[in-house]
Amino acid sequence: MKALFTIINNMDRRYIFLAMVIAVILPLIKPLALPVKITPNTQSSFDVIDSLAPGSKILLSFDYDPASSPELQPMAKAVMTHCFRKDVKMIAVALWPQGPMMAKKAFESLSSDPEFSGKKYGVDFVNLGVQPSYVAVVKGMGDSIAGVFPTDFFGNKTTDFEIMKGVKNYRDLAAIFSLTTGSAGIGTYVTIANAQYKTIVTGGCTAISSLEYYPYLQSKQLIGLVEGLKGASEYERLVKKPALATAGMDVQAVVHMMLIFFILLANVSQMIVGKQK
């Protein structure tokens, strides 16, 4: 018995890697189709968008790069689907250099969907791109969005777009939805846009940074938070369009169980081997 646990204790980590790969592949090939339960944070974020009148405009901020795209890209698509259906217009900006490319990909994949064939760039959605120094960007948009982003991502003049008619700064926006990873994003919008201009801020983030925003949730400076892949799958369910995040949650469940098993196994073997020493 002790020998077995000693082997387990000193196992080469590559076996763990292999177990991970198997635990990821199997549920992808044979989905478990687990139900998706909606958590309160996702629901309140959904409600913010859902309560907007048709034709109102939101700022959709793409504050992430490809590294976080498995979590945030499905979320972005679900939120955009919701906005398109509600006829809420989206002004996309980014605080991360790669954000505009992610926005471009999301818009391209949604506009190829026959459901949204009527949605036009510059009318229902515009991609203003990115500017350096995110604090200056978020601060500057309080005065003038077109001042911070003189052109869109592709070099066209911002003020020429129909969607920008009547939009000067945060006061003309119904809400801000930030898709965040890392330091630039929800935190910046809460501390500047919400604190100074009282704009409603909501958003989604990677699971890794979501707990950072819980104090802002409790103080209602941030209304709702879509957390990680789980949150994305919930949003997909809320807009009734299950996609990659929903499929991914099956895998997530299996890998979590495996990791919990590993943690327990390691602790048991530690106890047995440690005691007999």
Of these, 46, 153, 161, 177, which contacts another protein (CB under 8 A)? 153
Q: Using CB under 8 A, which residues numbered 132 to 151 contact another protein?
A: 132-133, 135-137, 139-140, 142-144, 147-151
Of these, 7, 87, 154, 162, which contacts another protein (CB under 8 A)? 154
CA dist., res. 129 & res. 74, Å (int): 20
Using the minimum distance from each CB to another protein, give the nearer residue, 47 or 259. 259
Using the minimum distance from each CB to another protein, give the nearer residue, 88 or 190. 190
Using the minimum distance from each CB to another protein, give the nearer residue, 50 or 242. 242
- DSSP 3-state assignment of 41? helix
Report if residue 172 touches another protein, rule: CB under 8 A: no
Report if residue 38 touches another protein, rule: CB under 8 A: no
Binding to another protein by CB under 8 A, coded x per residue (else -) over 196-235, reads: xx--------xxx-xxx-xx-xxxxx-----xxxx-----
Tell me how far, at minimum, the Cβ of 178 lies from another protein, in Å: 15
Report if residue 252 touches another protein, rule: CB under 8 A: yes
Report if residue 263 touches another protein, rule: CB under 8 A: yes
The distance in angstroms from the start CA to the end CA of the chain is: 13
The answer to whether 97 touches 129, Cβ cutoff 8 Å, is: no
Q: Using CB under 8 A, which residues numbered 49 to 108 contact another protein?
A: 65-71, 97-98, 100-101, 104-105
CA separation (Å) from 49 to 29, 43, 81, 101, 174?
Answer: 34, 10, 11, 24, 9
The count of residues interacting with another protein (CB under 8 A) is: 94
The torsion of the CA quartet 258, 42, 62, 178, rounded to 10 degrees, works out to: -130
- Of the candidate spans 43-51, 53-61, 115-123, 251-259, the one that interacts with another protein by CB under 8 A turns out to be 251-259
